[in-house]
Structure 1
Amino acid sequence: MGIADRWGLRAWLRAPGSLSKRLAATGRRYEVLVLRQTVAPLRPQERAALGLPRRGLTVVREVLLHVDGQPLVWARSAVHGHSLAGPWKALKGLGSRPLGHLLYDDPRIHRSELQPRRVTRHGATHRQMQRQWLAATGTEAPARMQWSRNSVFTRHGQQLRVMEMFVPDVALRDPGPLRRKSRPRR
């Protein structure tokens, strides 16, 4: 994690709780720009994280998170298609509201440990992020934008994977207290 430490991203990569709330607290205006929400093929890392078979439909939501007009995070969430008829059906009507509103307002949802990860520059995820970033902002994504954090949220046995990729400049913002609030496990 040496490069992430040099950029000061460690605190953001490991910050528990809602990323949306943490980002919003660093500025005046927080916005979620939905880039796409669609059915897409399973990616190997998503399939492994969700424990899904090689085949099946995945519903993907990709967004840019902005603070005061500056894009700071590209995020991708993926859930197996059958979960949209069950515990994750609220995703359908989320629109430009932060996913965090859904994930942290329900005590029945539990999150796995955060897993910081360097995204390969030539992999499908990085290429997708670059295309969407250019289309949404009119500029290239920051060259050093390669650190992400991944976690899986579980509700009623169904899982949702969230991957968040950070702009290196997010390290210039204070993520706030990093202590985890205790939440009763049910």
Structure 2
Amino acid sequence: MGLADRWGLRAWLRAPGSLSKRLAATGIRFEVQVLRQCVAPLRPQERAALGLPRRGCTVVREVLLRVDGLPLVWARSAVHAAALAGPWKAVKGLGSRPLGHLLYEDPRIHRSELQPRRVTRHGPTRRQMQRQWLAAVGEPAPAQMQWSRNSVFTRHGMQLRVMELFVPEVAKRSPGPLRLKRRR
């Protein structure tokens, strides 16, 4: 990856606000392809980020974000099942709507600082993404798909973790300034 590509990807990793809206602004058609939404065990980073004990049901949602048919981001969100009966119950009914619509429309939701992170090449997150990518796209995920950003959203003391893993080609698109709705 050249220097310009690295800087372009860095801009995406640090871009505030809704990733869905930023991606949608780079093309004509934006879509969310739900790959899986189910009860699943938390991974160690998720458990640490959410401050949860080893036990308990967790709901995981994994999606591909596509612009003009091209898959650009694989994303995984995780929330403790107890939060689905309370402040995060809308997550259950999202379907193919972007999670960002839920997260940025409510002024009671607060986001942690974005944490760019390189995904372990042979770790469980990478293996899961590769299996789903192959099934959804029909070809292997790009080998250079290594950089993610992680953040935790809090509403009424309950947390939801989001991890977004970018294809290198996203660096060629400008995340640009996004006109956000002003909260009153």
1:6 CA displacement: 2.9
Closer, same or farther: CA 95–86 of 1 in aligned 2, 3 Å: same
1:129 partner letter: M
The percentage of counterpart residues that share the same residue type is 85
* Aligned-pair CA distance for 1:54: 1.1
1:36 corresponds to 2:48: no
Q: Runs in 1 of length 4+ with deviation above 4 angstroms? A: 2-5, 178-184
Distance 1:152 1:17, change over 3 A: same
Alignment match, 1:84: 84
Distance change in 2, residues 1:144/1:3 (3 Å) = farther
Deviations 1:78-125 (A, max 9, x none): 000110000000011100000000000000000000000000110000
Question: RMSD across aligned C-alpha pairs, in angstroms?
Answer: 2.0
Secondary structure at the residue paired with 2:160? Answer: strand
Partner of 2:112: 112
Cα offsets for 1:124-154 (capped at 9, x unmatched): 0000000000000100000100100000000
In structure 2, what is the equivalent of residue 70 of structure 1?
Answer: 70
Displacement, 1:55? 1.1
Question: Residue by residue, what CA displacement relative to the aligned partner does 1:144-168 show, whole Å, maximum 9, x if unpaired?
Answer: 0010000000000000000000000
Aligned-partner residue type, residue 23 of structure 1: L
Residue 7 of structure 1 deviates from its aligned partner by: 5.9
> Aligned with 1:139: secondary structure?
coil
Cα distance between partner residues in 1 of 2:144 and 2:136:
19
Equivalent pairs counted in the alignment come to 183
Separation (CA, whole Å) in 2 of partners of 1:4 and 1:163: 24
Shift of residue 51, structure 1, vs aligned partner: 0.2
- Measure the CA separation in 2 of the matches of 1:55 and 1:112: 24
Q: Is the 8 A contact 1:4 1:10 kept in 2?
A: no
Shift of 1:33: 0.1
CA distance in structure 2 between the partners assigned to 1:109 and 1:31 by the alignment? 24
Partner residue, 1:93: 93
Code of the aligned partner of 1:165: L
CA distance in 1, matches of 2:166, 2:180: 21
Query: Displacement, 1:177?
Result: 1.9
Q: Secondary structure at the match of 1:8?
A: helix
| Structure 2: tracts of 5 or more residues without a match | none
Q: In structure 2, give the amino acid aligned to 1:161.
A: R
Instruction: Name the CA distance, whole Å, in 1 between partners of 2:161 and 2:3.
Output: 25
Q: Are the counterparts in 1 of residues 5 and 172 from structure 2 also a CA contact under 8 Å? A: no
Aligned-partner Cα distance in 1 for 2:34–2:56: 23
1:26 is aligned to 2:26 = yes
* Inter-CA distance 3–91: structure 2 relative to 1 (3 Å threshold): farther
The correspondence of residues 125-140 of structure 1 with structure 2, limited to 5 A, is: 125-140=125-140
Q: Which residue of 1 aligns with 2:11?
A: 11
CA distance in 2, matches of 1:56, 1:42: 9
The yes-or-no answer on 1:58 pairing with 2:66 is: no
How does the TM-score come out when normalised to structure 1? 0.93
